[in-house]
Amino acid sequence: MIPEEAKRKAELDGMFADISLGNPDAVHVCWAVFQFSHVLDDLFDRDVTLPVETVGLALLTFTEAVAANPFFQANRDILLGSMRVSTVEWIDSENWRKREDIRERVAAEVLKSQYQNFFYTVAGLCGGIGHMQAMSAKYREYQWD
């Protein structure tokens, strides 16, 4: 792992631990969703060439998190609902990127980042609405790629 990647991983480790108040099962779910979301987007955009191991392990980690992770299973209905909304927003973002109006293309980038709401949902489940809002204020950034 190159130093830049190691730094980003450490930042995300800290963010997910903060969001989940240190719950290791919730951290694992956050990582699985984060990795899978980015791999899926990279495969769609074709802006990066991903090794087969990256794709396969992201799918396996995500599948295991959804199927067997105790935190996910305990909060399955809420987390699946959040995943549904995030997926529709990602689809919309990809369609809006093609529009002519510059405001709509900028809005597409905001829509694309709405998968982050999944992590704030985890924060709410781990620490309540106050913690959810605090984590959103602390970590919300948009993907301007």
Per-residue pLDDT, 3: 85
Domain-embedded: residue 93:
yes
Per-residue pLDDT, 5: 82
68, two tokens: 């067997």
Rounded CA-CA distance 69/6 in Å is 25
Q: At residue 49, what are phi and psi to the nearest 5 degrees?
A: -95, 120
**With 0-12 CB in 10 A as exposed, 13-18 as middle and 19+ as buried, what is 129?**
exposed
Domain-embedded: residue 144:
no
Domain-embedded: residue 106:
yes
Domain-embedded: residue 88:
yes
Boundaries of domain holding 106: 3-139
pTM, to two decimals: 0.90
Q: How many domains does the chain have?
A: 1
Those residues of the chain that have pLDDT short of 70 are: 1, 142-145
Domain-embedded: residue 53:
yes
Per-residue pLDDT, 143: 58
